[in-house]
Amino acid sequence: MSTDTLIDALRAAVGRSHVLCAADGADLSAYEQDWRRRHRGRARCVVRPGSTDEVAAVVRLCAAHAAPIVPQGGNTGLVVGGVPDASGNQVVLSLQRLNRVCALDADNLTLTVEAGCVLQTAQQAAQAAGLWLPLSLASEGSCTIGGVLATNAGGTQVLRFGNARDLCLGLEVVTADGQICNGLRGLRKDNTGYDLRHLFIGSEGTLGIITAAVLKLVPQPAAQLTAWAAVPSLQAAVALLGLTQRKLGPTLTGFEMMNAYALELVARHFPDRQPPLQDRAPYAVLLEVADVEGEVHARARLEATLAEAMEADVATDAVVATSLAQARALWHIRESIPLAQAQEGLNVKHDISLPVSRIPAFCAEAEAALQGAVPGARLVNFGHLGDGNLHFNVQCPAGADAAAFLHRYEATVNTLVFDAVARHGGSISAEHGIGSLKAAILPRYQDSVALALMQRIKHALDPQGLLNPGRVLVEARLPASAAPAASARG
């Protein structure tokens, strides 16, 4: 027996070995520290239920003890949303034991999985049936279906298939008072009132605990091809996107952009990952095509499109991978950028989105403002250009002390980048979410009416404010004007 009655009750509900506490000598660091290792909190305990009923029991017990809950999947989130704060009061509810692939309906093109199922496991289950779950992130070997839905993750195929939200047909959710809301239906049409699924998707664990989902699948393409192009400017990259969309239509599934400095960092820290072209243009583009026609047809169409791009001077050189190994090597370069940045040292990261047409003007403006504020700052600019999503990351000037740079300039850099984003009609969070990292600045950039509606929704679904408090909304209180007036009600 511990001295904490909640912990005793949780142990009775899910089994002693599935409640981990530092007081018992358990190492909780994997649950308490975020992926970027910028934040380390302290959990009251980590509870690992093994079924939806157990999740509901855990939530009811936490509600009865007024204990805040932090849902956690693979803990790969990048906005400090899934790790506890420093108070030592928050219970980490890990979904990792709810990891089953429950059902695959090949005729309905759907896959039903539990929330703790790792994305890659779900992809493999689809593949084994000759189908495709078109959601792909560099973290797919660790992130979970619950996590990707809770953050409405994007990835590299959004251009064609949309975000995680667009791939979800049904959800099972445990509500803040510990009830099970069963919406596990694989329907493409269902207009029976408010679509609650879309409230929970992207809510980052602040409105309910996702315990299972029905995901949309598509037939596997007959051919998948990857190409790399050297591009002289951002305007040219945007023009290349337009050209490839016109020529390749819906077969274009991915369009990634990387600036030369991002590639220089990858080559420096991972010498086996050199760009495939001699042409060291200011930008490179990685394109992916998935075609229902065979490979010969798809390759001919892609090569003709790239030739036209070179004639139009929107690309200066290009190559199409000739094998799966080559295609993987190209993607490996792109996916190594965050790791190369980490090797180079601490940096300020941004996950922003803009109308594609505004990207060149935004980048020119933000880069000039950045150099004005921090002369010599190095810009690692890359991302899913096809979705208007940039990772506009800032590394300290060469030779400078990265920690001192971060301490002195992080807030300044964030403000100048986000203000420019707002001026160009963009978003301060494209795919990673708000978490606790951006919760304090959300009111500066979010429409005030939208923010007030978000507060009301939070209050309606989680009146005690116990689900992931401090994430997304700093204060989840009803505005005074909306609070019930006691005198009027008698």
Among 95, 281, 377, 476, binds ligand FAD (CB under 6 A): 95
* Per-residue contact string for residues 327-366; x = within reach of ligand FAD by CB under 6 A: -----------x----------------------------
* Per-residue contact string for residues 367-406; x = within reach of ligand FAD by CB under 6 A: ----------------------------------------
Q: Counting contacts by CB under 6 A, is residue 150 touching ligand FAD?
A: yes
The DSSP symbol for 360 reads H
| Residue 427: how many other CB atoms lie within 10 Å | 17
- Judged by CB under 6 A, the stretch of 6-14, 37-45, 145-153, 187-195 that binds ligand FAD is 145-153
Torsion of CA 452, 457, 458, 459, to 10 degrees: 90
| Residue 64: how many other CB atoms lie within 10 Å | 12
Q: Between 168 and 239, name the residue whose CB sits nearer to ligand FAD.
A: 168
Q: Counting contacts by CB under 6 A, is residue 85 touching ligand FAD?
A: no
Q: Would you say 391 and 321 are in contact if contact means Cβ atoms under 8 Å apart?
A: no
Among 57, 58, 61, 72, binds ligand FAD (CB under 6 A): 72
Q: Between 118 and 241, name the residue whose CB sits nearer to ligand FAD.
A: 118
| Residue 341: how many other CB atoms lie within 10 Å | 22
Residues 188-247 that bind ligand FAD (CB under 6 A): 204-205, 209-210
DSSP string, 209-278: EEEEEEEE-EEPPSEEEEEEEEES-HHHHHHHHHHHHHHHGGGEEEEEEEEHHHHHHHHHH-TT---S-S
Among 67, 109, 138, 473, binds ligand FAD (CB under 6 A): 138
The Cα 307–Cα 240 span in angstroms is: 11
Q: Counting contacts by CB under 6 A, is residue 473 touching ligand FAD?
A: no
* Per-residue contact string for residues 403-442; x = within reach of ligand FAD by CB under 6 A: ----------------------------xx--x-------
Backbone angles phi, psi at 389, to 5 degrees: -105, 115
Q: Between 153 and 352, name the residue whose CB sits nearer to ligand FAD.
A: 153
Among 41, 68, 73, 183, binds ligand FAD (CB under 6 A): 73
Residue 333 makes CB contacts below 8 A (sequence gap 6+) with 258, 263, 266, 273, 274, 275, 286
The Cα 40–Cα 30 span in angstroms is: 10
Q: Counting contacts by CB under 6 A, is residue 68 touching ligand FAD?
A: no
Q: Between 10 and 173, name the residue whose CB sits nearer to ligand FAD.
A: 173
Q: Which two tokens stand for residue 283?
A: 């930008």
Among 154, 183, 426, 469, binds ligand FAD (CB under 6 A): 154
Q: Counting contacts by CB under 6 A, is residue 78 touching ligand FAD?
A: yes
Measured CA angle at 157 (ends 151, 161), to 5 deg: 85
Q: Give Rg (Cα) of the chain.
A: 23
- Closest C-alpha to 144, from 108, 93, 181, 183: 93
Q: Which residues of the chain form contacts with ligand FAD (CB under 6 A)?
A: 35, 70-78, 81-82, 95, 115, 137-139, 143-144, 146-148, 150-151, 153-155, 204-205, 209-210, 338, 431-432, 435, 468, 471
